[in-house]
Amino acid sequence: MKTVSFHNLGCKVNSYEMEVMQQNFIKSGYTIVPFDSKADVCVINTCTVTNIADRKSRQMLHRARKLNPKAVLVAVGCYVQSLAQNDKTGRHDLYMLKDEGIDLCIGNDRKNMIVEVVEGYIAAGKNAGCDRTLNLTDTVTDMKNVCTYEDMQLESTVEHVRAYIKIQDGCDQFCTYCAIPYVRGRVRSRDVQSVIKEIEGLVKNGYREFVLTGIHVSSYGINHSEGDKPYNVLTQDADYTNHALLDLIDRISAIDGVERIRLSSLEPRVITDEFLKHISSNAKICPHFHLSLQSGCDDTLKRMNRRYTTDEYLKKVSLVRKYYDSPAVTTDIITGFPGEDEEEFARTVEFVKRVGFYETHIFKYSKRKGTVAAGLPKQNTEAVKQSRSAVLADINERNGLAYRKAHIDKKIRVLIEEAKEIKGVTYMVGYTDDYVMAAFREDIKPGEIVTGTAVDMIDEQTLLARPAQ
């Protein structure tokens, strides 16, 4: 029996793509084994969003080779794609992986072909440690030349009742700190029928909640070709109601068996009265909005090329709260961006307090090769980034606890996911519509949506709930 092991790094898009790759190997007669086990093929799905992600990608590749010296070792994804950029001499840094014992590299537009690439390599008589070949032309292409969406179909996932659905790839925003447009390419959107087919199949397999995800979900369906250059209306400064995304949501919500739809990170500029009026009338849409902020200081936002001000962002949050009662509003913040001094950081702290986010995902600025921010003056030290992250983490902890406690004595709807032991007691746990963990002592099957009342906190993360009588 042929065996394959996997290790995934990075975002939910990477997780989705890894699950499709696993599925394709299984269909080709492979057995999935744990990463620490011996395997015929080892696949590392890499990430490059920060320098820490780069380091973890390299570490996992080294570990895989040490664990499996005779396996075909495959490096896949964003870190691989970043190494495929030519330097000034025309050399590909990708060849560094060849020197380190990697057999195959596959970029971000060939993941659906991974089985064919691996089996072609094996059929050609290649063995680990012998005549390694990195075929850059066939397996790692320049993403700026990729114009079509690489379609994938997911049939099952490691999660029991919730599935992440990738609806688009690429980004045209070019924030000054971000390398993702270079390694993921420009915006490409998935065909509506492909999305519907995938969700219909997952519903038949028992999935009830679907999270629409992508590299820049707000750009779904709105890119088109202008000459030979990709164009995206969200590269402009004006607000934009994305009707293509609204139409997709409507089509998904009409599928029998879809109980909840959750949106991943949204660009603040797609939050308009028209957009919110439309989705707030749909009971299947979860009141959970991740609006990426990155900084609470206008000067910092300008250097980041974020294309909105803090006043404009606050208006978007207020608009969400106009249409939803106590929605979960979450965000991302980067600390220690080049030029961010104590005064600018203080503005971010005050803005975060003013908005009152449910959760704030905090990232220390990471210099990425080839980005504008990498060449900006006044780069902050790691110590400064760490201390500022700690300040925001403390605010985040207090805000999150306050938001969860506010549910006590209120009615909640929970999609039950699994049995979980908390403080020595077994509960059936799941998440509310606004993504707060809740636990029931009653024996409830996974996949059921239970309406009840939150009566207490079991711990700082989990509500204790009782079903409605």
Average pLDDT for the chain:
91
Q: What pLDDT is stored for residue 136 in this prediction?
A: 46
The band of 132, judged by pLDDT with boundaries at 50, 70 and 90, is very low
DSSP class of residue 76 equals E
The tens digit of pLDDT for each residue in 35-93 reads 999 999 999 999 999 999 999 999 999 999 999 999 999 999 999 988 886 554 444 56
The band of 129, judged by pLDDT with boundaries at 50, 70 and 90, is very low
Q: What pLDDT is stored for residue 400 in this prediction?
A: 97
The band of 222, judged by pLDDT with boundaries at 50, 70 and 90, is confident
CA–CA separation, 147 and 369 (whole Å): 24
Q: What pLDDT is stored for residue 92 in this prediction?
A: 59
- Name the percent of the chain lying above pLDDT 90: 81
| Residue at 240: amino acid letter | Y
Q: What pLDDT is stored for residue 232 in this prediction?
A: 75
The tens digit of pLDDT for each residue in 95-128 reads 667 667 888 889 898 899 999 999 988 888 755 4
Query: Can you give the C-alpha Rg of the chain in angstroms?
Result: 23
> Comparing 158-172, 269-283, 406-420, 452-466, which segment has the lowest mean pLDDT?
158-172
The tens digit of pLDDT for each residue in 334-351 reads 999 999 999 999 999 999
Q: What is the mean pLDDT of residues 161-181?
A: 95
Q: What pLDDT is stored for residue 49 in this prediction?
A: 94
Q: Check whether 167 has a pLDDT greater than 80.
A: yes
Give pTM, 2 decimals.
0.93
CA–CA separation, 49 and 57 (whole Å): 11
- Name the percent of the chain lying above pLDDT 70: 92
Count Cα atoms within 13 angstroms, Cβ side, for 337. 29
Q: What pLDDT is stored for residue 126 in this prediction?
A: 57
Best CA proximity match to 205, nearest among 235, 249, 161: 161
Residues 198, 210: contact at Cβ < 8 Å? no
Q: What pLDDT is stored for residue 469 in this prediction?
A: 79
Q: Check whether 143 has a pLDDT greater than 60.
A: yes
Q: What pLDDT is stored for residue 224 in this prediction?
A: 55
CA–CA separation, 232 and 222 (whole Å): 6
Residues 450, 414: contact at Cβ < 8 Å? yes
